[in-house]
Amino acid sequence: MSDNGHQQNGHENVPSRQRRRFEGISSRTYEHPADRSALVALRKLSGFDTVFKALSGLLPERSLRLLFLSDSVRVSDAQFAHLNTMLRDACHILDLEKVPPMYVAQDPQPNAMCIGLDEPIIVVTTGLVELLDEEEMRAVVGHEVGHALSGHAVYRTILLFLTNLALRVAWIPLGNIAIMAIVTALREWFRKSELSADRAGLLVGQDLRASMRGLMKLAGGNHLHEMNVDAFLEQAEEYEAGGDLRDSVLKILNTLPRTHPFTTVRAAELKKWAESRDYQRIMDGHYPRRTEDKETSVSDSFRQSAATYATDVKNSKDPLMKLVSDIAGGAGDLGGRVRRGFGGFAGGAPKDQTAPNDQTTPEDRTSPKDHPPRDSTPEDDD
């Protein structure tokens, strides 16, 4: 358990209530399988190793640290003391030996990040500090400490740098395409890493309701009296299951430019994990230790990730994922299902649907004289 009055780096740390401590915990304990598989895929991306090695030597990390030191407020016993207590307690619970420096930056946009190449730095904005209560903020601090323990800060820093670089070289077609390929892969990995960090935040806060409240506030602001957790989770259900194949495609297009998953999706994923047997086993003290990390097979982790993806696709209510599952299962009439799914793009009923008393042959129904060629194609929804 997290002790009242335990010592951490020479400072007394007194958490507001007792929480279980996970001594020697491995980040594998809370990492989402999709996080690990996306990182493996990222490392296999052509040119990534070259870019990674180059940027590791070129990125001005010292300048980054000096920037926060000079233009933000460093959390300590003397400044934002309540955040300092949360940070030390989070590091104690996840057994992170070296407490990373934390800064509060003036920004009305609620946000937090863990960046840095050699050593992680945690930054939270004033908008986030003012939005969340103590227990909600504790989950966020645990979220960022989870990023630090998993080693996510390095890739997050490179993503920020490449995103800015892509904007600067947008006028160079081939240069921009090469950079955006890596940025897209980095974003895909980072969205999955956020699910892992949400789990770490729950392990630190050990209060699912606080984690849910924090996510709701990120979506709807400081109006908890106007919001409801169950209704919020119903939105995630509707988002996943609603619409047709067109909506599935639009979901992908909406997601690609984002670094974070949609908030309702994060809430639903976290709740599902909190109710799982895996989470209960962790809380009972049964979890992987860092001492076992060297013995872990990368191929085994990848197979576990692939199995999780397959299960998610099979159980998904998304129309596109259902179609993928049916293809894998050898279901018939897939062509008709695809046409029906995308029928709304051209407007009207799908072409394979006819009235019951229609006696024409398929050749008659698809005759060029009955369906003259179109001069233009229908436009996709934005």
Can you give the pLDDT at residue 254?
73
Q: Are 290 and 28 in contact (CB under 8 A)?
A: no
From the list 44, 214, 216, 34, the residue with the least C-alpha distance to 141 is 214
Can you give the pLDDT at residue 365?
47
From the list 132, 36, 45, the residue with the least C-alpha distance to 86 is 132
Residue 289 CA to residue 210 CA, distance in Å, equals: 27
Question: What residues are paired with 125 via a beta bridge?
Answer: 105
Residue 376 CA to residue 373 CA, distance in Å, equals: 9
Residues annotated catalytic, as ranges: 144
Q: How many other CB atoms are found less than 10 A from the CB of residue 265?
A: 20
Can you give the pLDDT at residue 377?
42
Can you give the pLDDT at residue 49?
64
Residue 167 CA to residue 295 CA, distance in Å, equals: 42
Can you give the pLDDT at residue 104?
97
Sign of the dihedral defined by the CA atoms of residues 101, 107, 111, 115, in that order: negative
Can you give the pLDDT at residue 116?
87
Q: What is the pLDDT along the chain (382 residues), one digit of tens a residue?
A: 444 444 444 334 444 568 999 999 999 999 998 887 777 777 676 666 667 666 665 666 667 777 888 999 999 999 999 999 999 999 999 999 999 999 999 999 999 999 987 789 999 999 999 999 999 999 999 999 999 999 898 888 888 777 776 666 555 554 556 677 778 878 888 888 999 999 999 999 999 999 999 999 999 999 999 999 999 999 988 888 766 667 667 767 777 777 788 999 999 999 999 999 999 999 999 999 999 877 655 555 555 555 555 555 455 555 545 544 454 554 445 455 444 555 554 444 444 444 444 444 444 444 444 444 444 444 444 4
Can you give the pLDDT at residue 173?
57
User: How far apart are the two ends of the chain, measured CA to CA in Å?
Assistant: 51
Question: What residues are paired with 7 via a beta bridge?
Answer: 12
| Residue 105 phi, psi dihedral angles, 5° rounding | -110, 140
C-alpha distances (whole Å) from 102 to each of 36, 67, 92, 139, 195 are 26, 13, 15, 15, 22
**Rounded (5°) CA angle 338-344-349:** 85
Can you give the pLDDT at residue 268?
94
